[in-house]
């Protein structure tokens, strides 16, 4: 499916390190390379602390990369500054886990949603509310909500408003950082369906960041599994359960609870905790929790290699 398509966004060898006391460094993102295709969704999954949110913030230019590059339509946008960076916001927007954190509590919802339109001078003040009402209708919110403040909205309403604001500049790429994880299950399903419908209508490209593998699998075309800052497997979502090969991916799949499962079926858990990103072990970063690792796994860091078309993994066990 993807071999004949040109990526709209390419992430190449992206690394992010944070300086710690005593000269140590914490590697949050370690040599990550990924591709995002037009009108498609890429899911990035992993346990808390694996670096996926840091990666999302780098892609959205809310953090700077230590090394590596980001290309948008073959143009290097890694080090955009001032007005170039500002203009790039029109092509790429971000939806956060907690929309309240990105809303000014003193602004009414209508002003929050219309603010990007006015900042980029796409409309005048007279047209702003007309466009805002259209955006709110697009995400299933009544226009009467325009005069309310953020604290007067439910969690689902705030997330829909955040989506409306992200859509206001007609971006091509939207980064969703745990955008539904704080919502009740029923509201989560509504917001996810909204995002899927908007993608079909407008040809949007999504990057979904999350730890809920079952949810990400349902809404994404491709899935990248992340562990301790590195991508350990990239695979089409439709074959995830049958063709995943990395022990960490398999462990994540085994730990997913299914409401359709047998009442006596066991839910497996991944033993142990991930090592600290400031003290990543030599060799494979998963070797302290993998039940199948061998000698090479403790000596050499596995590189991401192609298993077959569109399927990549970083595992000595598979290739050796």
Q: What is the pLDDT of residues 231-282, one digit of tens each?
A: 999 999 999 999 999 999 999 998 875 544 455 555 566 777 788 888 888 9
* Mean pLDDT within 86-107: 90
What's this model's pTM, rounded to 2 decimal places? 0.91
Q: What is the pLDDT of residues 20-55, one digit of tens each?
A: 988 888 999 999 999 999 999 999 999 988 999 999
Q: For the CA atoms of 247, 252, 253, 255, what is the dihedral angle to 10 degrees?
A: 120
CA angle at 213 for the pair 250 and 103, rounded to the nearest 5° = 150
In the predicted model, what is the mean pLDDT of the chain? 90
Cβ-based neighbour number of residue 3 at 10 Å: 6
Q: What is the pLDDT of residues 67-94, one digit of tens each?
A: 999 999 999 999 999 999 999 999 999 9
DSSP 23: G
If pLDDT is split at 50, 70 and 90, which confidence band does 186 have?
Answer: confident
CATH 3.40.50.2300 fits 7-91+171-246+308-315, yes or no: no
E strand spans, the chain: 7-19, 25-37, 41-45, 67-72, 75-76, 92-95, 173-177, 205-210, 222-227, 230-236, 305-308, 311-313
Token pair in block for residue 182: 């704080």
* Residues 41, 236: Cα–Cα separation, whole Å: 11
Q: Is the pLDDT at 176 greater than 80, yes or no?
A: yes
- What confidence score (pLDDT) does residue 269 get? 65
Percent of the chain with pLDDT over 90: 72
* DSSP notation for 230-292: EEEEEEEGGGHHHH--SHHHHHHHHT---TTS-TT-------S-PPPTTSPPSS-TTTTT-SS
Least confident of 192-201, 224-233, 249-258: 249-258
Q: What is the pLDDT of residues 109-143, one digit of tens each?
A: 999 999 999 999 999 988 999 999 999 999 999 99
Domain boundaries, the chain: 7-91+171-246+308-315
If pLDDT is split at 50, 70 and 90, which confidence band does 2 have?
Answer: low
Token pair in block for residue 50: 């694996």
């Amino acid at each position: 499916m993807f071999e004949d398509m040109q990526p709209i966004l390419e992430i190449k060898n992206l690394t992010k390190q944070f300086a710690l006391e005593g000269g140590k460094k914490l590697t949050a993102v370690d040599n990550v390379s990924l591709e995002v295709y037009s009108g498609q969704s890429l899911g990035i999954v992993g346990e808390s602390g694996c670096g996926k949110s840091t990666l999302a913030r780098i892609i959205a230019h809310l953090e700077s990369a230590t090394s590596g590059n980001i290309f948008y339509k073959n143009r290097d946008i890694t080090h955009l500054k001032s007005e170039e960076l500002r203009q790039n916001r029109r092509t790429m927007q971000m939806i956060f886990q907690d929309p309240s954190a990105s809303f000014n509590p003193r602004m009414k919802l209508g002003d929050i949603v219309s603010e990007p339109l006015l900042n980029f001078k796409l409309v005048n003040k007279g047209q702003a509310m007309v466009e805002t009402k259209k955006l709110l209708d697009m995400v299933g919110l009544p226009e009467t909500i325009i005069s309310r403040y953020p604290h007067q909205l439910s969690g689902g309403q705030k997330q829909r408003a955040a989506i409306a604001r992200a859509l206001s500049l007609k971006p091509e790429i939207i980064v969703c950082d745990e955008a539904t994880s704080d919502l009740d299950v029923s509201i989560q399903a509504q917001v996810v369906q909204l995002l899927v419908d908007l993608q079909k209508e407008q040809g949007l490209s999504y990057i979904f960041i999350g730890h809920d593998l079952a949810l990400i699998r349902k809404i994404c075309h491709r899935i990248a599994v992340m562990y301790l800052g590195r991508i350990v497997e990239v695979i089409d979502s439709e074959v995830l359960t049958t063709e995943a090969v990395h022990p960490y991916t398999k462990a994540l799949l085994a730990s997913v609870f299914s409401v359709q499962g047998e009442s006596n079926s066991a839910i497996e858990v991944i033993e142990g905790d991930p090592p600290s990103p400031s003290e990543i072990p030599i060799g494979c970063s998963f070797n302290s929790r993998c039940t199948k690792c061998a000698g090479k796994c403790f000596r050499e860091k596995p590189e991401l290699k192609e298993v077959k078309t569109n399927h990549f993994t970083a595992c000595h066990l598979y290739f050796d």
